[in-house]
Amino acid sequence: MKNIVITGANRGLGYELAAEAAARGYQVWAGVRGPGSSAEKLLSLAEQYPEQVHVLPLDVTDESSVRYAFGKLAARIDSLDIVINSAAILLGRDQKLEGLEMELVEQSFQTNLYGPMLVMKHALPLLKKGSDQAIINVSSEAGSMAGAYGGDYGYALSKSALNMFTAQLRKQFSPLGYAVYAVHPGWIRTDMGGEKAPGDAGESAAGILDLAERKQGDADGAFFVNQRGEPMKL
């Protein structure tokens, strides 16, 4: 079985990615921030797939936690094939620039950008030993400079920076055969997307895994794509 790490796997898109990966036969290492995180659905999934789904304590905002998680992982597996950075936060949605709380912007960057950077820093030794490797950073159309709007400052700016980090990863690792994408998952029904969202998180998760498995994507070399592998404007 191939090994996949998914951050933020206890809810929303992260959970759906874990469920889809398990159904496809992966060994799923499901990253969860800590004991205070709501993880009932994920624990039920682990009971459904006891030999495949493993809950991995992994706080992407804490390098000690990330280092420890991948150290424990290295003691259990020889290689890693796919990393999906799904953990993200959306804070201060209603704040105008003149009333912007900068600590919320900083927290957004800590999770949405620095988190994936820390994960990749500590995942690479295992990932380099895998096969058909893929790195997927869950981004957002909010991170598109072409579609910039006045609002969601912390979220939009951190996702735009995540796109740049993905471009750097792609430049470094695609020549080695890695699939590397920043993916807009669509407006989907999750805690973040809300109940009025038209998209289904499970369908989005299936599309993202298809990208990781090279079943779609790479249209004109685009790395910022939607869940169907279609290029997005940067």
Q: What is the dihedral of CA 129, 135, 104, 144, to 10 degrees?
A: 160
Q: What is the dihedral of CA 31, 213, 181, 128, to 10 degrees?
A: 70
Report yes or no on whether pTM surpasses 0.75: yes
- 151/93 Cα distance (integer angstroms): 7
- 120/55 Cα distance (integer angstroms): 19
| Dihedral sign from CA coordinates of 90, 184, 63, 30 | positive
> pLDDT tens, position by position, for the chain (234 residues)?
899 999 999 999 999 999 999 999 999 999 999 765 678 999 999 999 999 999 999 999 999 999 999 999 999 999 999 999 999 999 998 899 999 999 999 999 999 999 999 999 999 999 999 999 999 999 999 999 999 998 999 999 999 999 999 999 999 999 999 999 999 998 786 776 667 666 788 999 999 999 999 998 776 789 999 999 999 999
Q: Measuring CA to CA, how many Å separate 34 from each of 8, 104, 167? A: 10, 20, 30
Structure confidence by residue, pLDDT tens digits, 20-47: 999 999 999 999 997 656 789 999 999 9
Mean residue pLDDT across the chain: 94
Structure confidence by residue, pLDDT tens digits, 75-88: 999 999 999 999 99
Tokens of 64: 């000690």
Contact in structure between 153 and 90 (CB atoms under 8 Å) = no
Q: Which residue has the tokens 């009333």?
A: 99
